Structure 1
Amino acid sequence: MARPVQPPIAADPDPRPPLTLVGTITARIRALRPSLSPTGIRIGDAVLATPAEIVALTVTELADRTDTSVGSVVRFCQDTLGLKGFHDLKLRLAAETTPSTDTSEPTPGTPSDTVQAVLAAATAGLEQLPGSLDHTVLATIVGLLRRADRVLVAGVGTSAPIAADAGYRLRMLGVHTEVLTDPHQQHLAARTLGPRGCCLAISHTGQTQETLTALRAATDSGAVTVGITSYLRSPFTELCHHSVVAGATERHGLEATASRLMHLTVVDILIALLADDDPTTAATAQ
């Protein structure tokens, strides 16, 4: 007797749902920064540098400070951040920039200053993470991971340890998972996932070519693709059916541990939600 054909784990994964802007204003700007125009970057960087000061400025003063125009500032607030206007931006920043949540980066000085700045970035990222998460997206990803016949966790470079951790803990919960950090093996595995498969990809920048190649191969095979990244608009989020965007402030343009800590925390959340979904499997794994 022929084996019955199983339906795909996602009835119709295309078109991809639009990514929504959630979380604090400063978190939104960081997530959007790589996709901004030069003018948008100047305005966004000014807000990130001294969010508390922006509250006291007029729209003209911010335009002068960033060498832009009033119209550019208003468009940045409305079109980029999805706000009503500059006044709305100031209200949101005023609510965010209390002494314990000010996300501006201290000026480098002594080693003590650097230590405090690195720790502050990690702490601020974790504090802001709950407001950056879309619970509906998390629940959807958990359902896809649970229903998949096979899950490929893809990640290279500094994302490889996070991928390995995710794969190990998914297997503990009974999810048929493989983690392949070699790009060629990753690509081959992605090509064979099929409609009952799921590719969980992790990429900080969303620009890593090896990971993008695996995502394209998974999509071509009919698999559903989900991802964890730091930036909202990138080739990575365009290729993922569902994305979790979670990042943190970086110093010197380096991929900071703070950002990877956000991604590990998202993995923790997914694992906890999977365990809640099937407590019996979780208890057996302990």
Structure 2
Amino acid sequence: MTHPGTRRPGEARERETAGTLQRERRGAGVTETSAREQRVPGAVAERARAALGSLPRGEARAVQALLAQGSDVIRVSVSEIAAAAGTGVGTVVRACQSLGFKGFQDAKIALTQDLAPLVGERSPEHIDRGDRPAEVLAKLAASSAEALSRTPVSVDGEALARAVELLRAAPRVLLLGVGTSSPLTQDMAYRLLTIGISAEAPSDVHVQHVRARLLRQGDVAVAVSHTGSTRETVNAARGAHEAGASVVAVTSFSTTPLTEIADVALVAGGLETRYRVEAMTSRLAHLVVLDSLLISLVLAEPERSETAQKLLADVLAEHRF
């Protein structure tokens, strides 16, 4: 039996070896920057495999699950890797940090760019280095159209209807999102106000968390996150859940820390590419999902929406020539 504060046999060696790996990674071309600069296919993955023997069992399983994804690792979430490895999300993150990465997101980007060319025929948009701007535009438009066409298939209809009912009855709605998801939440909060629903989308993450904890039963928090594993968004959503509010998640992955908290998960998003991480196609898909919620609310409460729209028209008239 190991007493509290007593290190298990071999733990010191494992920590020393992991530390050596991180130092080697910084000095021998395994850093994120140098790996991307050198473009030596398989270098990062090979060193990760070499480190398996020096990692605790749980972390080693997490690394193996990560490597098993190959270049498609860019399309999986941290929760999916944890499930595949039979470990927790925290173990996956620690495993990535033991390899010298900042965290899971940093690791999967480096591994993806290590195992596949930055651009080329494998990318969903088939963009080549010699493409002219007009060709890039056409290919991206086609890719976005494809992502939008998949949205009705990926979003569960019953979940969407449930989200509409929660929002319809909510005294207050709080929109949560950071980074590239933040503009979507700002837009949605404003548009909800224009149909008579009290909504807000604080831009500061601390304010988001505080507002989430101040919600009550019947209120709704709508959390928008491509990965579903952004710490600030997940923490605020958890605060809303603990306060008794319902949580609606709009995300690109079905198994994430955010969907584990959410009462309703609306999953839609474009595939990430090897050179456009968190691509705009995902934002477009999320925007369509949010728009469908808005229009459904207008149809469900036409009188409330019409009254608010008239007031909005009067206000806007004062700001236009």
Give the match for residue 182 of structure 2: 160
Larger RCO of the pair (alpha carbons < 8 Å, separation 6+):
1
- Partner-residue secondary structure (3-state), 2:69: helix
- Partner-residue secondary structure (3-state), 1:186: helix
Match of 1:190 among 212, 220, 225: 212
- Partner-residue secondary structure (3-state), 2:270: coil
Give the match for residue 172 of structure 1: 194
- Partner-residue secondary structure (3-state), 2:196: coil
Hey, what's the Cα distance between the residues in 1 that align with 2:276 and 2:260?
A: 23
Count of paired positions = 196
Match of 1:117 among 139, 150, 155: 139
- Mark the runs of 5 or more structure 2 residues left unpaired by the alignment: 1-63, 74-122, 310-321
- Higher percent of residues as helix: 2
Change (3 A) 1:110 1:285: farther
TM-score of the superposed pair, with normalisation by structure 1 = 0.63
Q: Judge conservation of contact 1:121–1:250 (CA < 8 Å) in 2.
A: no
Q: Give the % identical residues.
A: 38
Match of 2:258 among 236, 240, 262: 236
Give the match for residue 258 of structure 1: 281
- Partner-residue secondary structure (3-state), 1:201: strand
- Give 1:173 deviation, angstroms: 1.6
Give the match for residue 152 of structure 2: 130
Give the match for residue 207 of structure 1: 229
- Give 1:162 deviation, angstroms: 0.1
Q: Judge conservation of contact 2:124–2:143 (CA < 8 Å) in 1.
A: no
Q: Judge conservation of contact 1:194–1:221 (CA < 8 Å) in 2.
A: yes
TM-score of the superposed pair, with normalisation by structure 2 = 0.57
Write the deviation string for residues 65-122 of structure 1: whole angstroms up to 9, x where unpaired: xxxxxxxxxxxxxxxxxxxxxxxxxxxxxxxxxxxxxx94415232335333322220
- Mark the runs of 5 or more structure 1 residues left unpaired by the alignment: 1-35, 46-102
Write the deviation string for residues 22-81 of structure 1: whole angstroms up to 9, x where unpaired: xxxxxxxxxxxxxx9347624968xxxxxxxxxxxxxxxxxxxxxxxxxxxxxxxxxxxx
* Paired amino acid for 2:65: S
Hey, what's the Cα distance between the residues in 1 that align with 2:288 and 2:270?
A: 12
RMSD of the alignment, in Å? 2.4
Hey, what's the Cα distance between the residues in 2 that align with 1:172 and 1:126?
A: 25
* Paired amino acid for 1:168: Y
* Paired amino acid for 2:286: H
- Partner-residue secondary structure (3-state), 1:205: coil
Change (3 A) 1:114 1:40: farther
Which one has the largest radius of gyration?
A: 2
Give the match for residue 108 of structure 1: 128
* Paired amino acid for 2:143: A
Hey, what's the Cα distance between the residues in 2 that align with 1:279 and 1:239?
A: 31
Give the match for residue 24 of structure 1: none
Q: Does 1:151 align with 2:179?
A: no
Give the match for residue 45 of structure 2: none
- Give 1:169 deviation, angstroms: 1.0
* Paired amino acid for 2:240: A
